[in-house]
């Protein structure tokens, strides 16, 4: 029913919305962009306990409500509905593909050695050190896709590291590909912080990606580069 209703509307900002649900990451990847489209089109909204329960069937009442809202968005004009259906058939929303086990995404930063670098989850500092031996580490306390995604890697000596992150400029492009979809970001922050400063990993209302690495010769500080979705 989600896909059927999504065929009736199309919001150009479907890939920029930040879903508010606490269980967003449990939404099956094959239907996630349809959920984004419906939320951006104001067909769906906040649910009880801020949960969307993406792995459960919707009720008949929910189906009727969504269809009614979809028609309202189109001002009950069946010509608009027909045109949206045609658009969604000829130019369907992309369906993200599954990633290898253990990999949550791939990171690329223009002008650096960071090109399709695999990203793996890290539950704590000890696991982060293990993960960073073979991948970019993801701070598990940050979102995987919607919101402020926090990543870290060594600054040298590893096949996959952030050795050239220091060379980026404001405005450079970052690409983040996951099984939820691909997002493009523009770098807006490049600065040094204390090793105990995690403020750049705090939640944001927009979609960002934050990359942190050590600074060679300065063990008490870290380089932080933050980019915002464009």
Positive/negative CA dihedral, 97, 99, 103, 108 = negative
Widest CA span of the chain, in angstroms?
66
Closest by CA to 203, choosing from 162, 142, 151, is 142
Mean pLDDT of all residues in 103-126: 92
Q: pLDDT tens digit string along 141-172?
A: 998 888 999 999 999 989 999 999 999 999 99
CA atoms within 13 A on the CB side of 65: 10
Task: Kindly give, in sequence order, each residue whose CB lies less than 8 Å from that of residue 53, ignoring residues fewer than 6 positions away.
Answer: 23, 47
Query: Given 3.40.50.300, 3.40.50.10140, 2.40.260.10, 3.40.50.2300, which CATH number is that of 103-229?
Result: 2.40.260.10
Label residue 176 by pLDDT band (50, 70, 90).
very high
- Tens of pLDDT, residue by residue over 33-46, are 898 899 999 998 87
pTM of the model: 0.72
Report residue 108's pLDDT band, with 50, 70 and 90 as the boundaries.
very high
Q: Where are the domains of the chain?
A: 2-90, 103-229
Contact 23, 54 (CB under 8 A): yes
């Amino acid at each position: 029913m989600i896909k059927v209703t999504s065929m009736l509307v199309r919001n150009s900002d479907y890939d920029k919305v930040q879903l508010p649900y606490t269980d967003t990451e449990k939404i099956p990847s094959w239907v996630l962009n349809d959920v984004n489209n419906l939320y951006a089109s104001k067909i769906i909204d906040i649910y009880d306990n801020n949960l969307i329960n993406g792995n459960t069937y919707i009720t008949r009442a929910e189906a009727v409500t969504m269809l009614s809202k979809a028609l309202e968005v189109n001002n009950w004009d069946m010509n608009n509905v027909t045109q949206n259906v045609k658009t969604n058939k000829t130019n369907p929303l992309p369906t993200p593909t599954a990633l290898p086990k253990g990999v949550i995404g791939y990171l690329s930063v223009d002008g650096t050695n960071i090109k399709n670098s695999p990203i793996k989850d890290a539950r704590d500092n000890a696991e982060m050190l293990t993960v960073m031996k073979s991948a970019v580490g993801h701070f598990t306390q940050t979102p995987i896709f919607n919101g402020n995604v926090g990543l870290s890697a060594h600054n040298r000596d590893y096949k996959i590291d952030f050795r050239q992150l220091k060379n980026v400029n404001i405005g450079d492009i970052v690409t983040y590909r996951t099984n939820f979809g691909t997002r493009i970001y523009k770098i807006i922050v490049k600065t040094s912080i204390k090793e105990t400063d995690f403020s750049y990993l705090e939640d944001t209302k927009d979609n960002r990606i934050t990359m942190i690495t050590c600074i060679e010769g300065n063990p008490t500080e870290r380089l932080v580069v933050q980019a915002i979705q464009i």
